[in-house]
């Protein structure tokens, strides 16, 4: 695996949030992490993206433990990754400036200064990687529009373009379409598939099982901080090994109460409201 967590435990204070999780992503695959709210999906993304170390276990990039590297070496690996959050967090500037942001922060100060100056005098051209990334999300025609004037769906697509523009090996998306309408969701999912075809590894955390079914090469189901099972979506959704997965698929596990009491033997059963 290109990026792989092995036997990791993660906690906040006294609370253990991930228990003995082993999961990785390869180049050119979409791995989806599903599970009820509060189950540890975001924590897993932060762990895989080397945002924080595990309490125990390892996170390895091409076989090298990320936390055995120097800070500088780890930063070099982190630059191979990009992250898209639920909130797109764009800034008050043209769309293309927002998309090129990740590229600029990865440049030397000299190149960056030149680019800032060209931006100030309005002579900045949209570079090819930025144009290609905007094309991928269907927003090339909005390159010069102020990012703050975009719709929520367009803004989320711009955030994905920004992640793509740095030419990453892995992209992490945390609930990327939870606020989007079906059209914007479909456009973003198509951009994700296109990234996969170009060899990017994609890790998506989502509540949306239908999205996981549409997009994934593999799905991991997390419950109570435990990776209950992982496999191709057809198997996981139609013929799961674990009764908890079946409950989740049937819409019976909505919240992660197990994370509160730490009892992994007897999962609570929550029902959708009947209305
Ligand atoms: N910085 C933090 N400090 C303390 N506890 C945290 C922190 N971040 C997350 N947690 C706790 O860890 C648990 C898992 O949170 P996490 O955000 O990983 O879940 P999630 O599956 O992504 O949830 P959601 O789907 O609602 O976003 C929760 O109980 C949460 O309260």
Ligand 1 centre from 96 Cα, in Å? 33
Cα separation, 212 vs 20, in Å, equals: 23
**Alpha-carbon distance values, 157 to 85, 109, 163 (Å):** 11, 28, 10
Burial of 127 (0-12, 13-18, 19+ CB in 10 A): middle
The CATH homologous superfamily of the domain defined by 1-80+170-275:
P-loop containing nucleotide triphosphate hydrolases (3.40.50.300)
pLDDT given at position 262: 45
What are the pLDDT digits (tens) for 23-49? Answer: 999 999 999 999 988 899 999 999 999
Residue 263 has pLDDT above 80, yes or no: no
Specify the pLDDT at position 124: 61
**pLDDT in the model for residue 184:** 93
Q: Is the CB of 16 under 6 A from ligand 1?
A: no
C-alpha 43 to ligand 1 mean position (Å): 6
Q: Give the burial class of 105: count Cβ atoms within 10 A of its Cβ; 0-12 exposed, 13-18 middle, 19 or more buried.
A: exposed
Q: Is 47 in the pocket of ligand 1 (CB under 6 A)?
A: no
Per residue in 177-193, pLDDT tens?
988 899 999 999 999 99
pTM of the model: 0.87
Please indicate whether residue 42, judged by its CB atom, sits closer than 6 Å to ligand 1: yes
| CB contact at 8 A, 205 and 41 | yes
Is residue 264 predicted with pLDDT exceeding 50? Answer: no
- For atom 8 of ligand 1, the residue with the nearest CA is 43
Rounded distance from Cα 153 to ligand 1 centre (Å): 25
In this prediction, the answer to ipTM > 0.90 reads yes
Question: Does position 113 have pLDDT exceeding 70, yes or no?
Answer: no
- 204 has pLDDT over 90: yes
The per-residue pLDDT of the chain, averaged, comes to 88
* Rounded mean pLDDT, 118-147: 84
Q: Is the pLDDT of residue 20 over 90?
A: yes
Q: What is the DSSP string of the chain?
A: --EEEEEEEEEETTEEEEEEEEEEE-TT-EEEEE-SBTSSHHHHHHHHTTSS--SEEEEEETTEEGGGS-HHHHHHHHTTEEEE-SS----SSBHHHHHHHHHHHTS-HHHHHHHHHHHHTT-PPPPHHHHHHHHHTT-GGGTTSBGGGS-HHHHHHHHHHHHHHT--SEEEEESTTTT--HHHHHHHHHHHHHHHHTT-EEEEEES-HHHHHHH-SEEEEEETTEEEEEE-HHHHHHS-SSHHHHHHHTT---B-THHHH---SS---------
| CB 174, CB 85: distance < 8 Å | yes
pLDDT for the residue numbered 150 = 96
**Residue whose CA lies nearest to ligand 1 atom number 5:** 12
Task: Assess whether the C-beta atom of 41 lies below 6 angstroms from ligand 1.
Answer: yes
At 115 the pLDDT is 65
Say if ligand 1 is within 6 A of residue 224 CB.
Answer: no
| Residue 145 CA, ligand 1 centroid: distance in Å | 35
Q: pLDDT tens digits for 45-78?
A: 999 999 999 999 999 999 999 999 999 999 999 9
For the segment 137-155, the average pLDDT, to the nearest whole number, is 96
List every span in the chain annotated with CATH 3.40.50.300.
1-80+170-275
134 Cα–ligand 1 center, Å: 32
In the chain, the percentage of residues whose pLDDT exceeds 90 is: 72
The residue to mutate among 8, 43, 52, having the most atoms of ligand 1 within 8 angstroms of its beta carbon, is: 43
Residue 209 has pLDDT above 80, yes or no: yes
Length of the chain as a residue count = 275
Instruction: Give 230-259 pLDDT, tens digit per residue.
Output: 999 999 999 999 999 999 998 887 666 655
Q: From the CA of 45, how far away is ligand 1's center (Å)?
A: 11
């Amino acid at each position: 695996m290109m990026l792989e967590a092995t036997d990791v435990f993660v906690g906040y204070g006294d609370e253990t949030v991930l228990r003995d999780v082993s999961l990785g992503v390869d180049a050119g695959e979409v791995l989806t992490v599903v599970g009820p709210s509060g189950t540890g999906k975001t924590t897993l993304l932060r762990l895989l993206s080397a945002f924080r170390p595990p309490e125990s276990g390892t996170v390895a990039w091409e076989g090298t433990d990320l936390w055995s590297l120097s800070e500088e070496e780890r930063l070099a690996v982190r630059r191979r990754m990009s992250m898209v959050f639920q909130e797109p967090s764009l800034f008050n500037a043209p769309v293309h400036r927002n998309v090129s942001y990740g590229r600029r922060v990865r440049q030397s100060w000299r190149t960056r200064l030149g680019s800032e100056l060209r931006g100030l005098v309005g002579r900045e051209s949209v570079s090819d990687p930025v144009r290609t990334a905007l094309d991928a999300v269907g927003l090339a025609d909005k390159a010069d529009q102020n990012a703050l004037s975009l719709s929520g769906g367009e803004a989320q697509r711009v955030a994905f373009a920004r992640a793509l523009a740095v030419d990453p090996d892995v992209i992490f998306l945390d609930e990327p379409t939870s606020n989007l309408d079906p059209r914007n969701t479909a456009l973003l999912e198509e951009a994700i598939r296109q990234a996969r075809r170009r060899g990017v590894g994609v890790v998506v955390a989502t509540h949306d099982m239908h999205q996981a079914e549409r997009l994934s090469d593999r799905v991991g189901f997390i419950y109570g901080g435990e990776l209950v099972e992982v496999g191709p979506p057809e198997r996981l959704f139609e013929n799961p090994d674990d009764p908890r997965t079946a409950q989740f698929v049937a819409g019976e596990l909505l919240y992660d109460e197990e994370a509160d009491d730490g009892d992994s033997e007897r999962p609570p059963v929550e029902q959708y409201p009947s209305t």
